[in-house]
Amino acid sequence: MAKETSQEQALQSVEKIIRQTRGKFSPEDAVAETGYSLDAINSALQRLLELYRAKVVMNPQTGSLMFEFHYPLQKINKKTFNEILYNFLSTLWKIFTVIYKAATGIILVFYTILFIVIIIAVLLFASGSDRDDRGGGLRIDVVLGGLIRGILQGLSLMAWTGTLQNVTDPSGLTYKKYGKEKNSGKNFVQSVFSFVFGPDNPKPDPNADAKEMISFIRQKSKGKLTAADIVLLSGLSYDKAEEKLAEYAAKYKGELSISETGTIVADFTNLLNIQAKDLDGGKIIYYYNEIDPPAEHTGNSIGKNLLIIGMNAFNMFVSYTILSSATDPLVTQGSYTLSPFLIFALGWFPLIFSISFFLIPIIRIPFTLSYSSKRKKMIMLKKVFNAIFTQPTEKLTFNQIANAINLPKDLFDNAKHSLEKLIIDLRGEIQIGEDGTPIYNFEKVKQELSISQI
- Tens digit of each residue's pLDDT (9 = 90 or more) over 159-215: 455 566 666 766 667 766 666 554 444 467 788 888 998 888 878 888 889 999 999
Q: What angle do CA 294, 295, 301 make, to 5 degrees?
A: 100
Cα–Cα distance measured from residue 263 to residue 241, given in angstroms and rounded to the nearest whole number: 13
Nearest alpha-carbon partner for 452 in 247, 226, 210: 226
Report whether 385 contacts 288 (CB < 8 A): yes
Of how many residues is the chain composed? 454
The pLDDT tens digits for 409-452 are: 999 999 999 999 999 999 999 999 888 999 999 999 999 988 87
Lowest model confidence (mean pLDDT) among 116-120, 125-129, 151-155, 346-350: 151-155
Average pLDDT, whole number, for the chain?
A: 82
Tell me the domains of the chain and their CATH numbers.
Answer: 2-69 (1.10.10), 82-199+294-368 (no CATH), 208-288 (1.10.10)
What does the pLDDT read at residue 157? 46
Do 358 and 317 touch, CB atoms closer than 8 A? no
* pLDDT, tens only, 355-403: 999 999 999 999 999 999 999 999 999 999 999 999 989 999 999 999 9
Q: What is the reported pLDDT for 82?
A: 82
User: pLDDT at residue 276 above 80?
Assistant: no
Q: How confident is the model at residue 147 (pLDDT cuts 50, 70, 90)?
A: very low
Q: What is the pTM of this model?
A: 0.77
pLDDT over threshold 70, residue 297 = yes
